[in-house]
Amino acid sequence: NTASVINLWPVLEVVWLGLNLYLFIDTFHWYEDEDAYLYTRIMLGSALAWARASATCLNFNCMLILLPVSRNLISFLRGASTVRALRRQLDKNIVFHKMVAYGIAVNATIHIVAHLINIERYHRSQSKEAGELQNKLSALGKNSHESYLNPIRTYETNTTEEVLTTIAGVTGVVITVALILIMTSSTELIRRSSYEVFWYTHHLFVVFFIGLIFHGMGQLVRGQTPQSLLLHNVTYCKDHYLEWEKATQCPLPQFSGNRPVVRVMFVVMHSSGVLELHMKKSGFKMEPGQYIFLQCSSVSQLEWHPFTLTSAPEEEFFSVHIRVAGDWTIQESLEIPSRSIFLNLLAVDGPYGAATTDVFHYQVSVCIAAGIGVTPFASILKSIWYKCCNPSTVLTLQKVYFYWICRDPSAFEWFADLLSFLEAKMAEKGKNDFLSYHIFLTGWDESQATHIALHYDDKMDVITGLRQKTFYGRPNWDTEFKQLAENHPSIGVFFCGPKTLSKILQKMCNSYSSADPRGVQFHYNKESF
């Protein structure tokens, strides 16, 4: 009815306004209270928080601005909706577009004014009148082991020239000009008298969004790094700045822009040439089997490489195992005193989902790995252990079969250690039947064969050190799948490895799945990067 149609629109306005207020206030308080920005606030005052809060709202509104004027999207929503009241709201798409545009204009004005004040305060911090602490902070970055906080390096700097020679400054000017032209050409007078001016000028949105993407790359606003915060306590050290170079409890603070920086807690170089990194990052949440992209700026500012997480969500850190291979390695970048647990800054993008996260959705899961494809199952098996040990966890998964085919298990001795740990813990809990694992060795030399034969009757496997003996050669998948089909009605199969083996396994799943939905069913899942 008409009344219900009219009442829905104010609700949308209130929700939009509420989200803007929440984002602005939350971001404002973050930059006003966070220790990482205490030294930045000493230079800039509250203008820092005003600039960052308005930037958050700008990003939010710029995400929304194109949605109401996307004809295909509006047509799709109109056709997909069966409720007439909702379809009628789509007629107000231009009204919502204008409302979001006003939000962009207001926040852009706040952002520009705040940053003009910030530039001036950065400049003033280089003057003798600013005070000793501001001068001390402004002088950081002159030596190779220091990072800077103040982008204005000397008091003689021409601030206008500085703005026009930075990424943030140039893109800021481009964005501002494009926004002014778009909004002024949108007035009713211009639309009525010269619609073409309005239409073509509005296409500057392409320039606007390209500038917006690059605008934050300048990283002019910098905060103290997580590592530095732990070593340099700002609450104490800000009052003892004269002793920064002398006092061990107040080393020089280190700063960086807004990058996805993590803190490296622990590093192990395994004898097999695998580097194990334990990291922490604020707000990082993962699921078993997920992966991240990792960047080490000292190796390359542009390259991001995917690594599967080998930790479980239940652990207080997240970890990756990196095999030293190729020309991209962070091993050389981690040369620090052994007494320190803090390393060079790494950047992390993720985590991202993967097929193996569905392992827990089946009563019976078969995990098959080939070579380095074993990595995602480290996280899965660890998480299985934690869930089994937690009485409050209701676990759908009742049985796990794990197959690992590799040429040289010593290349992944860290994973054999994990299996050994799980084997012992499962035995302690009386859950020996929960995890059944089968390791197949496909490559060995004559001396290894002799050694294996001599120790064949030992209780522990000579290759892995596990109670479960290693098989030699490749598995007979017909035999394995036939046994699985005889014992279980529904099975999830998860694989990570080469395409050739993936095709074989998928064929096996199809062959041993019953045509009757009530019969045995194999559900195939392949891990992809």
How far is the C-alpha of 9 from the C-alpha of 92, rounded, in Å?
8
Q: Are residues 511 and 414 in the same domain?
A: yes
Measured between alpha carbons, how far is 451 from 431 in angstroms, rounded to an integer? 32
CB atoms within 10 A of CB 82: 7
151 close to 166: Cβ distance less than 8 angstroms: yes
What domain range is 36 assigned to?
2-166
Is residue 28 one of the residues assigned to a domain?
A: yes
Q: Is the dihedral of CA 392, 397, 398, 400 positive or negative?
A: negative
Same domain, 306 and 445: no
Residue 316 counted as domain residue: yes
Angle, alpha carbons 63-222-160 (nearest 5°):
85
Identify whether residues 343 and 376 lie together within a single domain.
no
Q: How high is the pLDDT of residue 106?
A: 95
Residue ranges in the chain whose pLDDT is less than 50: 1-5, 328, 332-333, 335-344, 529
Question: Can you give the pLDDT at residue 27?
Answer: 93
Q: Could you give phi then psi for residue 136, rounded to 5 degrees? A: -65, -45
Of 320, 352, 384, which marks where a domain is finished? 352
Domain membership flag for residue 191: no
pLDDT at 459: 60
Is 382 found in the same domain as 309?
A: no
CA 310, distance to chain mean position in Å, is 15
Domain boundary among 334, 352, 370: 352
Cis ω before 351 (30° cut-off from 0): yes
Show the CA angle centred on residue 11, arms to residues 6 and 15, nearest 5°.
155
Report the distance separating Cα 119 and Cα 168, nearest Å.
12
Summarize pLDDT for 480-503 with one digit per residue, the tens. 999 999 888 889 999 988 888 999
- Domain presence at residue 177: no
What is residue 494's DSSP assignment? E
The pLDDT of residue 312 is: 87
DSSP 17-72: HHHHHHHHHHHHHHHHH-GGGHHHHHHHTTHHHHHHHHHHHHHHHHHHTTGGG-HH
Q: Is 473 left (phi over 0), alpha (psi -120 to 50) or beta?
A: left
- Looking at the structure, tell me whether residues 6 and 43 fall in a common domain: yes
Q: Cα(115)–Cα(52) distance, rounded to whole angstroms?
A: 9
97 lies in the same domain as 127: yes
Would you say residue 441 lies in a domain?
yes
Strand partners, 368: 403, 495
* 83 part of a folded domain: yes
**Residues 51/258, Cβ–Cβ less than 8 Å:** no
Number of folded domains in the chain? 3
Q: Are 173 and 144 in contact (CB under 8 A)?
A: no
348 shares its domain with 363: no
Is residue 338 located within the same domain as residue 438? no
**260-308 residue pLDDT tens:** 577 777 777 776 677 788 888 777 888 888 888 887 766 666 678 888 8
CATH number for the domain that contains residue 303? 2.40.30.10
Whether residue 311 is found in the same domain as residue 416: no
Residue with tokens 């620090």: 336
Q: What does the pLDDT read at residue 61?
A: 94
In a domain, 149, yes or no: yes
DSSP state letter for 256: E
12 and 113 inside one domain: yes
DSSP codes, 293-343? EEEETTT-SS--EEEEB-S-TTSSSEEEEEE--TT--SGGGG---TT----
Give the 3-state DSSP-derived string for 399-458, with helices as H, strands as E and coil as C.
EEEEEEEECCHHHHHHHHHHHHHHHHHHHHCCCCCCEEEEEEECCCCHHHHHHHHHCCCC
| Domain end position, chosen among 352, 370, 390 | 352
Same domain, 437 and 311: no
Do residues 345 and 382 both lie within one domain?
A: no
Residue 236 lies in a domain: no
Span 104-146, pLDDT tens digits? 999 999 999 999 999 999 989 988 888 888 888 888 887 766 7
CB 156 within 8 A of CB 166: no
Would you give the DSSP letter of residue 242? G
C-beta atoms surrounding 392 within 10 Å: 5
**DSSP 8-state symbol, 104:** H
Please give the structure tokens belonging to residue 130.
């600013």
**pLDDT, position 3:** 43
Residue 375 burial by CB count (10 A; 0-12/13-18/19+): exposed, middle or buried? buried
Question: In terms of residues, how long is the chain?
Answer: 529
Contact 254, 149 (CB under 8 A): no
